[in-house]
């Protein structure tokens, strides 16, 4: 399975953590570093996903569990919590043009905390599509200390394209324009790009 490039520095450090004591003290001393390296490979997995075909579809921007569907006059926000065991690659929910990318430094509350979307470190993308503007917000959590966004203003994206990742536990919010009704409910599991 492919692995995101962002795993490389972690894998180098963990490789050294396993190799040095393993060579000096025996293979058993390499076990902790090896186990952590395997976890990093698992965490940074980047599977290929084939988005479903069809008109008017809005895809999930992340793997995880839906923890909120907040209907407001300006549109609906779908909140997705990503555990350490979910794939953390974020994907575009629709085809369009990235209109704005805005990074906001902040706190590191638990990603499931309702206030996390307003006070935590986050990165917001506005994707301008035929049906309106769709927002994807990458929100850092307690362990997530690095948000990676691989898109910039003016980039064209197709539904399901990779737009970034959040390292080590996080949350992704999807803002739908008014009139677009989500088909997911709180508690459902979703997969990015599908």
**What residues are annotated to the active site?**
170
Q: Which two tokens stand for residue 45?
A: 């997995």
Q: How far is CA 105 from the centre of its chain?
A: 17
Look up tokens 């737009």; give the residue.
163
* β-pair type (132-140, 122-129): antiparallel
* β-pair type (170-177, 156-157): unpaired
Distances (CA, A) of 185 to 62, 77, 136: 15, 12, 18
User: What string of DSSP letters covers 84-153?
Assistant: TTS--EEE-SSSEEEEEEEEE--B---TTSTTHHHHB-EEEEEEEETTEEEEEEEEE-SS--EEEE---T
């Amino acid at each position: 399975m492919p692995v995101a490039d962002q795993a490389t520095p972690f894998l180098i450090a963990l490789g050294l953590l396993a190799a040095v004591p393993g060579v000096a003290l025996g293979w058993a001393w390499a076990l902790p570093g090896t186990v952590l390296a395997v976890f990093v490979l698992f965490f940074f997995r980047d599977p290929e996903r084939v988005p479903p075909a069809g008109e008017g579809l809005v895809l999930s921007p992340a793997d995880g569990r839906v923890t909120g569907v907040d209907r407001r006059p300006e549109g609906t926000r779908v909140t997705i919590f990503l555990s350490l065991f979910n794939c953390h690659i974020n994907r575009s929910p629709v085809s369009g043009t990235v209109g704005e990318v805005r990074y906001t430094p902040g706190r590191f509350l638990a990603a499931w905390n309702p206030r996390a979307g307003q006070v935590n470190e986050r990165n917001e993308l506005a994707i301008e599509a035929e049906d309106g503007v769709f927002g994807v917000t990458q929100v850092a959590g307690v362990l997530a200390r690095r948000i990676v966004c691989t898109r910039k203003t003016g980039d064209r994206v197709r539904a399901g394209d990779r737009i970034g990742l959040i390292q080590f536990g996080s949350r992704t919010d999807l803002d739908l324009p008014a009139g677009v009704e989500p088909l997911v409910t709180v508690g459902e599991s979703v997969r990015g790009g599908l």
